[in-house]
Amino acid sequence: MQEAVHMRVGVVIAAAGEGKRMGAEGNKVLLPLRGRPMLQYSIECFAAMEEVTDLVVVTRAVDLELVRELARQAAPSRSVQVVAGGAERQESVYLGLKVLPLDTDWVIIHDGARPFINPELVRRGLEAAFVHKAVGLAVPVKDTIKRVQEGFVVDTLNRAELWAMQTPQIFSFELILAAHERARELGLQATDDCALVEKLGHPVYIAAGEYGNIKITTPDDLPRREEVSVGFGYDVHRLVADRPLVLGGVTIPYEKGLLGHSDADVLTHAIMDALLGAMGEGDIGEHFPDTDQRYAGISSMLLLRHVMDLVNAGGWEICSVDAVIMAQQPKLSPWKAAIRASLAQALGIAERHVSVKATTTEGLGFVGREEGIAVQAVAALRTRQC
Ligand code: MG
């Protein structure tokens, strides 16, 4: 960005919000996000940009010392000015503008509650500002927006024309200062800085923002820390005459089948135990006791559906499931693909995330004597990302 080298580019980060909607005591931009105060991410982003010459953070008077210390940690090689804001965001931004040097050329205004910006996104806006003097980053609205009065729709807006405004918003210093001063004279209030420039009658250009550049407004907006959990399952059923042999919901033609209270699908049982284990939810014996007549002869795929309800209700998603079937007879290789497909469907994941392997035990043990079939399974789960 050659143009910027000789220019004075100031940044004003608005960080004086009370965070009432966060249910937070104090300043929401100081709440931890992945272990660090949310505000730190924005300061780091701008401090890393060599185009930026002046960096101002506007915060609550009571947080001045805290934020100064945070800025020293986030940007040790920079001198960051931290000043007290006003009662409203607009007033705070104005106070931030007033401490920038008078020869400032461009101003980047950013909300401290948008921690997911990056220099590339800021540069996109800055380059557009060199041409258009006033630029807001924004994304097309995905939802249908209706105007509602007293509980009833009065209008459906044309979605093709609707954009959700983000920050940074970038202006020529002269223009934004004039817009703020005029708003103060006339008592105009707006929820973003572009609106003040619009009220001056100056065109505002829209540059492409990013959907990931969200504003943290309620606790639901805070990305949850991802958790990964692994569970293990093991099951054995006896092979007897006159029973079906069901593995992973697939009935396999064989002279013997597995004995059990349900359909004795030993593979599905081991997988359910692995899933329950990963969630810390006990085992299938606790969830489906064999003393309960409801489960007599039931398809284990229905039991798996119940376990999947627990997976979903717990906010988990399945990364992968891997199982080894230990059987001397019958030969299972012709059935592995069908079993894998059946399980992938029941688990709601791609087939490549399901693995079904089979082995004999070289004639050893109860499996080798064809008295039963054993299965071991592991399941990896992670917390669902919003
Ligand atoms: Mg079992």
The reply to whether 145 and 264 lie within a common domain is no
Expressed in angstroms and rounded, the spacing between residue 235 Cα and the centre of ligand 1 is 5
Could you give the percent of the chain with pLDDT greater than 70?
A: 95
The reply to whether 59 and 144 lie within a common domain is yes
Question: Of 162, 192, 221, which residue is a domain's last?
Answer: 221
Q: Residue range 32-41: average pLDDT?
A: 84
For residue 289, pLDDT over 80 is answered with: yes
Question: Of 205, 221, 237, which residue is a domain's last?
Answer: 221
Q: Residue range 329-342: average pLDDT?
A: 96
What domain range is 274 assigned to?
228-383
Expressed in angstroms and rounded, the spacing between residue 236 Cα and the centre of ligand 1 is 6
Expressed in angstroms and rounded, the spacing between residue 359 Cα and the centre of ligand 1 is 19
- Tell me: the pLDDT tens digits for 46-57? 999 999 999 999
Cα 308 from Cα 233, distance rounded (Å): 15
Cα 135 from Cα 3, distance rounded (Å): 17
Expressed in angstroms and rounded, the spacing between residue 252 Cα and the centre of ligand 1 is 17
Pure H helices in 14-111: 38-47, 64-74, 89-98
> What is the CB neighbour count within 10 angstroms for residue 208?
13
The reply to whether 362 and 300 lie within a common domain is yes
Cα 239 from Cα 335, distance rounded (Å): 18
Task: Give the CATH number, domain containing residue 163.
Answer: 3.90.550.10
Task: Give the CATH number, domain containing residue 331.
Answer: 3.30.1330.50
Expressed in angstroms and rounded, the spacing between residue 361 Cα and the centre of ligand 1 is 20
The reply to whether 198 and 311 lie within a common domain is no
The reply to whether 154 and 254 lie within a common domain is no
DSSP state at residue 385: P
- Tell me: the pLDDT tens digits for 252-276? 999 999 999 899 999 999 999 999 9
Expressed in angstroms and rounded, the spacing between residue 170 Cα and the centre of ligand 1 is 64
Total-model pTM: 0.61
* Number of domains the chain is built from: 2
Cβ atoms of residues 85 and 92 within 8 Å? yes
The reply to whether 363 and 293 lie within a common domain is yes
Expressed in angstroms and rounded, the spacing between residue 316 Cα and the centre of ligand 1 is 24
Expressed in angstroms and rounded, the spacing between residue 238 Cα and the centre of ligand 1 is 10
The reply to whether 60 and 159 lie within a common domain is yes
Closest CA to 55 of 119, 111, 99, 85: 99
Q: Residue range 9-32: average pLDDT?
A: 79
Expressed in angstroms and rounded, the spacing between residue 350 Cα and the centre of ligand 1 is 25
Residue 379 has what pLDDT? 98
Question: Of 165, 193, 221, which residue is a domain's last?
Answer: 221
The reply to whether 286 and 247 lie within a common domain is yes
Local confidence band at 333 (pLDDT 50, 70, 90 cut-offs): very high
Q: Is 229 exposed, middle or buried (0-12, 13-18, 19+ CB in 10 A)?
A: middle
Expressed in angstroms and rounded, the spacing between residue 234 Cα and the centre of ligand 1 is 9
Cα 116 from Cα 214, distance rounded (Å): 7
The reply to whether 209 and 243 lie within a common domain is no
The reply to whether 143 and 275 lie within a common domain is no
- Tell me: the pLDDT tens digits for 127-156? 999 999 999 999 999 999 999 999 999 999
The reply to whether 215 and 334 lie within a common domain is no
The reply to whether 22 and 117 lie within a common domain is yes
Closest CA to 10 of 81, 136, 83, 108: 108
CA separation, residue 274 to residues 111, 268, 311, 354, 385 (Å): 45, 10, 12, 13, 22
